[in-house]
Structures are given as C-alpha cells and as structure tokens.
Structure 1
Amino acid sequence: MKKPSPFANTLRRAAVPATGLTLMAFFGAYAILGPNGMFAYGDYRRKLAAHERDYTALDQKRTVLRNRVALLNPDHANPDMVDEMVRKELNVTHPDEVIVPLK
C-alpha cells in the first residue's frame, strides 16, 4: 500500500477548516452587503421617512374628508356644503352666476 504524500495529507487536514472559513466569510459578507444587510439599513431608513411623509399627507386628507362627511350628515347637514355638492355633481347653475374653477 502506498503512503500518502505529506502534501496530500496537509490538504486533507486543511479542507474542513477551509470550508468552514469560506462559509463563514460568505455569510459574513452577505450579512453586510446583502439585500437585508447593514448597508441596506440606510436605504430602509430613507424609505421609512418617505412612507411617513406619505402617511402624514394621507392622514391630513383623511381629516379633511372626515370633516366633509360630518358636514354632510343627514341628521344635521350644512346647507352650504349640500348646495356646493349638488351644484358640482349635477352641474346646475343659475343663468346669472359666474363659475370660477379653483383647480
């Protein structure tokens, strides 16, 4: 039987630690550079800030709509709001009125 060479013996002994180090390096790089890694954290913070601005704008719109709904409540509707909505939806005006579009 042939004795393995010292070089082959050294390679065989170093294979398991080298594989372990390679796997650790891969997962370490992925934890830093990957899509959910540490470098992506800044992007997540920017996206969160943008979403919070959008949420604030939508919250203000919701407040305006909630107020308009309260003004159109059938129990105690605001006559001016009802008149405005009817004229807008039905496109009804008096002959002597001038319409000035706001938007």
Structure 2
Amino acid sequence: MHTIQKRTSFLAKLIVPAMTSAVLAYFVLHAETGQYGSEAKVAFARQLAEHNAEYSELVATREALERRVRAMKDGTLEKDMIDENARRALNVARDDEIVILR
C-alpha cells in the first residue's frame, strides 16, 4: 500500500496571516481617514465651533431687534423717534437737514 504525502509549502502558512493583516489594515485606514474617522472628528469639532459662533451672533442680533421692537410698542413712542426711525429706514432727509454718515 502506497500513501501519497503532500508537502506543505512555506507560503501556504502565510496566507491566513496575510489576509488577516490586509483586512486589519483596511479597517485601521478607514478608522483614521474615513467619513467618521479621527480626522473627521477634528473637522466636525471645528465646524461645530464655527456654527456656535454664528449662532451666538444671530442670538445677539435677535435680542437687539427685540429691544428695538419693544421700544416701538404703542404708547412708548415719541414723534421724534418715529420720525427718526422712518427717515433712517427710508433714507430720506429734508433740504435744510445735514446728514452725517457713520
């Protein structure tokens, strides 16, 4: 009775570790540079800071506008203030007035 023995190749032992290393390298690469990776986290943080600054500016603008509206409520207005606000909004001046632009 004859038995056929197969010799194992040196390269055959490296196939599984090589495939595992390739898959691991793929996931590590995407963990660093992917859409939700480490680099994207820094970009998201910077973008969040910019949006927070813009939000703070908009809140301040809104509060200023709300103060102006409260000042213009019925009963608190004087004719001078109405006239001044209307002229400023419409860019209108009389012939005998001097306009100083800031």
Instruction: Name whichever of 27-36 and 61-70 sits farther off.
Output: 27-36
Q: TM-score, normalised by structure 2?
A: 0.68
1:14–1:81: structure 2 CA closer, same or farther, 3 Å change rule?
A: farther
Gaps of 5+ in 2: none
1:26 & 1:92 partners in 2: Cα distance? 68
Per the alignment, residue 89 of structure 2 pairs with 89
1:86–1:24: structure 2 CA closer, same or farther, 3 Å change rule?
A: same
1:90 & 1:50 partners in 2: Cα distance? 34
SS state at 2:46 partner: helix
Per the alignment, residue 50 of structure 1 pairs with 50
Gaps of 5+ in 1: none
Identity among equivalent positions (%) equals 31
Q: TM-score, normalised by structure 1?
A: 0.68
Instruction: Name whichever of 46-55 and 17-26 sits farther off.
Output: 17-26
Residue-pair matches, total: 98
- Structure 1's consecutive aligned runs of 4 or more residues displaced over 6 angstroms after TM superposition are none
1:20 & 1:88 partners in 2: Cα distance? 73
